[in-house]
Amino acid sequence: MGSGKAWWRAFETRDALAAALAATVADQLRAAIEAKDGATLAVSGGTTPALFFDALSHKDLDWTKVVVTLVDERFVPPASERSNERLVREKLLRNEARLARFVGLYSQATTVDAAARQAEAGIALLGPRLDVVVLGMGADGHTASFFPDAPNLDELTNPAQSRLVMSVDAPSGGEPRITLTLPLLVGAGLLALHIEGEAKKDVFERAMAQAAPRLPIARVFDAASAPIDIYWAP
């Protein structure tokens, strides 16, 4: 179902969704490698992407030419159970994908702001445009670390934001975080939203219908220059 800047791709099962999304992402990475001898992929954390990560990790492509990074990260060390880096290393960077290079957002800086600055220096080296970005969405309509109650939400989601990476300290976030900013996300060669369950579908539809204030996920769709594929399964 297509609607404005959203294109729904509904699947009967979460396994089927994971397989389809992994195939699409792998094809995009192969195309980037063929075109410029390298590819970049930014993924999200949480519980939703585990099946997708597993399916993608088995894809046959030249992973030595792929750089994997994160859409956002908690300001916690990789050993933490809440670390997105830990999730990616355990679920994605194995099998065929073990050969990919990983660029994380966390560092042992004294403050989350300093860590964000260090992460930005690393992300800037990946080039002006990410090849693939896969977003998730929370029950409050947040995506990346764009939380509705983030004091700097308008800065994070400003289409003219020059920063690539910024820090976030939202009460609902649980701990300070580091996130890619909106222009870098919507500028990706392929931008997809991966959500599962009727509840999240309802949240997304309400967010898109709400005139003001625009929830973070709606701000991403508002800023996108091309339709975003939504991969959904009940």
Q: In this structure, are residues 71 and 185 in contact, taking their beta carbons and an 8 Å threshold?
A: yes
What number is the average pLDDT over the span 130-147? 98
- For residue 45, the enclosing domain spans 2-233
Q: In this structure, are residues 212 and 112 in contact, taking their beta carbons and an 8 Å threshold?
A: no
pTM: 0.97
Q: Which tokens go with 198? A: 């009727």
For residue 72, the model assigns a pLDDT of 98
How many structural domains is the chain composed of? 1
Query: Residue 1: which pLDDT band, with cuts at 50, 70 and 90?
Result: very low
* pLDDT tens digits along 70-79: 999 999 999 9
Query: Residue 20: which pLDDT band, with cuts at 50, 70 and 90?
Result: very high
Q: In this structure, are residues 84 and 141 in contact, taking their beta carbons and an 8 Å threshold?
A: no
What count of other Cβ atoms lies within 10 Å of the Cβ of residue 73?
28
What number is the average pLDDT over the span 151-158? 98
Q: Give the CATH number, domain containing residue 48.
A: 3.40.50.1360
- Per cent of the chain over pLDDT 70 is 98
What number is the average pLDDT over the span 18-46? 98
Which residue in the block uniquely carries the two structure tokens 């355990």?
90
What number is the average pLDDT over the span 192-215? 96
